Amino acid sequence: MSGLTLTDGGLLVPEGSLEASVSRALQQHDRDLRLVPQDSARFGRRVYRVIRSNGPDRPPDFVCWWADEYGAPLPLSFSLVDYVQLHDRNTVGRPKDADELDREFRAQKRKDYLRDAEAIVHDHADRVDGKKQQVLPRSRSLYLARQRARAKQPKEFWS
């Protein structure tokens, strides 16, 4: 199984073809980005770095090394391209992280709540101020209670 890489979807692809397509995707994002694969005896596998070329007369700038939070190299995938795009300072519409999206969502919900509450207060302002009163409909039980009370009262002789 040498020279083959297992993708996240469970597909075996030749290692060189994935490197070429990830390299193309990086260059589509920024033409100066280069994918640098290196065989590592320490990790027993290939490790990947991304560099930005500064031309023939200056050394390249290191962009990132494709590894997890503990420093262990990750297998090559298009997540590397997403990672580079996420951390690119020149990208205007860079994706927002979950905390930022959550803050915006909560702010929007709060704004909607305040707008709706203000509309309710505006609709019922004259009732709250006492300028307008709404007569509640009388219930059937109130009608029957009054009938019983009238029946118990003695009838006047002259009526």
Please tell me the distance from the alpha carbon of residue 3 to that of residue 15, in angstroms, as a whole number. 5
- Residue 155, CB half-sphere, CA atoms under 13 Å: how many? 4
The average confidence (pLDDT) of the chain is 82
The pTM assigned to this predicted structure is: 0.48
The domains of the chain are located at 4-86, 96-132
Q: What is the pLDDT of residues 83-101, one digit of tens each?
A: 888 777 676 666 677 888 8
More confident residue, 91 or 120: 120
Q: What is the pLDDT of residues 26-82, one digit of tens each?
A: 888 888 898 988 888 888 888 898 989 888 898 988 888 888 888 888 888 888 888
- DSSP secondary structure, 25-65, as one string: HHHHH-TTEEEEEEEETTTTEEEEEEEE---TTSPPEEEEE
Strands (E) across 66-151 are located at none
